[in-house]
Amino acid sequence: MSTIPSHIRVMIADDHLLFRRGLISLIESQPGLKVVSEASNGKELLEQLRNMEQMPDVLLLDLNMPVMNGIEAIRHLRSMAPEMKIIVLTVHNEERFIIHFVEQGVNGYLLKTVEPDELGRAIRFVTEHDFYFNDLTLQAMRTGTQSKTRMREKTLAAPAGLTGREIEILQLICREFTAAEIAEKLFLSVRTVEGHRNNLLEKTGSKNAAGLVMFAVRNRIVEPEL
């Protein structure tokens, strides 16, 4: 899992120039955050990333953009910049959007009405923990889980063939422990914890920690705290 760099490099992809300018001013007013690039559509975003020597740490991505929208761009981003954290920043608050994009591998989902302090907190949080879920996201996950066809009642009965140790580590990931903290708590090496995390990603079909949290909620391994 990641640790926070001394300066978090942020990129913005949004087609509204005035919104981007305001967002840049807001982000750079917070210590430790720096906007390194901006794009007005998905195509421009991908072209800029191809030419960068150092990828941004965090991308703030709008969904509705001309030429290539954010939905299409996400399909390319995971192979192009697998370590970059993606926070969707949008006007869409429908549960189906939130759940879909977490499943697609985004690390956070925020509305454009978000408070400035929360935006800064989310950028820092995804850099350290690989995901940021606020009440909106957690509620969507809870409602989406409840609306599914009846799920297995097994909580600790090894869904997806998980071992007891893997379930224990998954629960700690959901509680926002870093790999180092999990290793200390369970008397394991960090390398062993990372190995279990990789096994969890493979067994659950998740792309990152955000996907692992979604899997845990859907399989009732943890309950979302609202």
Q: What's the pLDDT tens digit per position in 192-225?
A: 999 999 999 999 999 999 999 988 888 888 876 5
Decide if 178 is inside a domain: yes
Instruction: Kindly state whether residues 42 and 67 are assigned to the same domain.
Output: yes
Instruction: Kindly state whether residues 29 and 51 are assigned to the same domain.
Output: yes
Which pLDDT score, from 0 to 100, does residue 218 have?
81
Q: What's the pLDDT tens digit per position in 46-87?
A: 999 999 999 999 999 999 999 999 989 998 998 899 999 999
The two three-digit tokens of residue 59, written as one number: 């991308």
What's the pLDDT band for 137 if we cut at 50, 70, 90?
A: confident
* Sign of the four-CA dihedral 135, 93, 130, 100: positive
Q: State which residues form the domain around 66.
A: 8-142
Instruction: Kindly state whether residues 99 and 155 are assigned to the same domain.
Output: no
Burial environment of residue 147 by CB neighbours within 10 A (0 to 12, 13 to 18, 19 or more): exposed
Look at the chain and report how many structural domains it folds into: 2
Instruction: Kindly state whether residues 78 and 116 are assigned to the same domain.
Output: yes
Report yes or no: 90 and 63 within 8 Å, Cβ to Cβ. Answer: yes
Classify 71 as helix, strand or coil: helix
Domain boundary among 142, 177, 209: 142
Higher pLDDT, 31 or 157: 31
Instruction: Kindly state whether residues 193 and 92 are assigned to the same domain.
Output: no
Which pLDDT score, from 0 to 100, does residue 145 have?
53
**How many CA atoms within 13 Å lie on the side-chain side of 142?**
12
Which pLDDT score, from 0 to 100, does residue 149 have?
40
- Give the Cβ contact number of residue 196 at 10 Å: 21
1: pLDDT strictly greater than 80: no
The two three-digit tokens of residue 83, written as one number: 């370590």
Instruction: Kindly state whether residues 28 and 135 are assigned to the same domain.
Output: yes
pTM: 0.80
Instruction: Kindly state whether residues 56 and 122 are assigned to the same domain.
Output: yes
Q: How far apart are CA 127 and CA 114, in angstroms?
A: 18
Residue 14 has phi, psi (to 5 degrees) of -160, 140
Which pLDDT score, from 0 to 100, does residue 102 have?
87
